[in-house]
Amino acid sequence: MGLAKTEMFTDQQNEIALFAKAFGHPARVAILQHLFNINSCVCGDLVNEIGLAQPTISQHLKELKHLGLIKGNVEGTSVCYCIDTKNWSQMKQIMSLFLDQDIEKQDGCC
């Protein structure tokens, strides 16, 4: 149906899925990588950097902002975006609980 049955999973499972979904598109990966690389605010040039139209970039930025992974500050006519490092490390902790499950488990069978 295109609709995930979130109510049958734990909050933790749904939260992991939400963050992962944000990283599930190369444009959002590229946006985040660019924000890390310049290590400061980006005012405006994201549309030139990534090769997508302005409304499309704006939409991706909105999703990332909604998740709290980036911050946006208005500076005159442009908006400056950067990583929210605090929320980023919180996200990493949640993802690590999931990704590091292989630690101390031996290859069981198969």
Q: Binding to DNA by residue 53, rule CB under 7 A?
A: yes
Nearest to 65 by CA among 98, 40, 107, 32: 32
Q: Binding to DNA by residue 68, rule CB under 7 A?
A: no
Nearer to a copy of itself, 77 or 99 (CB): 99
Q: Binding to a copy of itself by residue 32, rule CB under 8 A?
A: yes
Q: How far is the CB of 41 from DNA (least distance, A)?
A: 10
Select from a copy of itself, DNA, none the partner in contact with residue 92, using the beta carbon and a kind-dependent cut-off of 5 to 8 Å.
a copy of itself
Structure token pair of residue 63: 């999703």
Would you tell me which residues interact with DNA (CB under 7 A)? 1-5, 21, 24-25, 27, 43-44, 47, 52-63, 72, 74, 76-79
